[in-house]
Amino acid sequence: MEFQDKGLTVLERKKRDRVFEKNKLNKKDLIVSEISGSSLSDYDLAGKWNLKTREARKVLKLGKWRGMQIVGNEQEVVKELTHLEVN
């Protein structure tokens, strides 16, 4: 648990502690759980998603520059490209 505290900001620790209280969990429950230390935080997942979205926009921009035409909503195309990159 201590190593997890080092990677969290004060606000993230408070948020985590509120979730513990709301669900009537103890910190030691997290230590012995099967997800301890192996799960990705929402912050990590959001960062990965944002990175892949930027890459998808670059691909789309390059495609347009090379003459590719988009049919439909451009945001939907970016979203689909992002899904392909993430999965």
pLDDT, tens digit, 9 for 90 and up, residues 51-76: 889 999 999 999 999 999 988 898 99
Write out residues in the chain with pLDDT < 50, as ranges: 1-3, 32-36, 38
- What residue spans define the domains of the chain? 1-39, 40-87
Measured CA distances, 11 to 5, 8, 24, 57 (Å): 11, 8, 20, 32
At 77 the three-state DSSP class reads helix
What pLDDT shows up at residue 50? Answer: 87
Which pTM does this prediction carry?
A: 0.51
What pLDDT shows up at residue 81? Answer: 87
Gap between the Cα atoms of 5 and 17, Å rounded: 11
Nearest to 63, CA basis, from 73, 52, 74: 74
Contact 85, 55 (CB under 8 A): yes
What pLDDT shows up at residue 27? Answer: 63
Structure tokens at 87: 């999965």
What pLDDT shows up at residue 21? Answer: 79
